[in-house]
Amino acid sequence: AADKAGSRENQPAVVHLQGQGSAIQVKNDLSGGVLNDWSRITMNPKVFKLHPRSGELEVLVDGTYFIYSQVEVYYINFTDFASYEVVVDEKPFLQCTRSIETGKTNYNTCYTAGVCLLKARQKIAVKMVHADISINMSKHTTFFGAIRLGEAPAS
């Protein structure tokens, strides 16, 4: 029985958050451009903690993490590209940018992912770079998550 419990501990810990279906205007609805309208689809509470107000996802265990995100942008004013960042402790880690034809309502998804060494208490968030855009927080097109792949490699 001890072996089974031990092997379960080595399973990758997962969190997957989805948009809650609302349309969001960045400059009117978001504090500092950080998306926070997430619903938890799956989350390992021993490894991850969601801060619903700020939209930040806190890591509770040191390790190597695969982080992914997709955002659907659907209206743009005054700019011809949409961009967002995945930030770790408010510093950019990943960025996703799409060119968009101005003057049209276009639905564009932008996906990015990467592997990052994280320490306990570090926070991950999805932050929009431009204020003059709207986001479709549909659960199928705007999402955010992480998988703990294992221990950080020995240096």
Q: What domains does the chain contain, in order, with CATH numbers?
A: 14-150 (2.60.120.40)
User: 122: pLDDT confidence band, cut at 50, 70 and 90?
Assistant: very high
Average pLDDT over residues 99-113: 78
Closest CA to 95 of 110, 80, 106: 110
Query: Can you give the pLDDT at residue 105?
Result: 62
Is the confidence at residue 5, as pLDDT, over 50?
A: no
Is the confidence at residue 1, as pLDDT, over 50?
A: no
CA torsion, ordered 123, 129, 135, 139, to nearest 10 deg: -30
Are 108 and 72 contacting, i.e. CB atoms less than 8 angstroms apart?
A: yes
pLDDT higher at 34 or 82: 34
CA torsion, ordered 94, 71, 69, 16, to nearest 10 deg: 150
Query: Can you give the pLDDT at residue 12?
Result: 79
Question: What is the Cα–Cα distance from 50 to 40, expressed in whole angstroms?
Answer: 8
Closest CA to 95 of 134, 69, 117: 69
Query: Can you give the pLDDT at residue 153?
Result: 81
User: 67: pLDDT confidence band, cut at 50, 70 and 90?
Assistant: very high
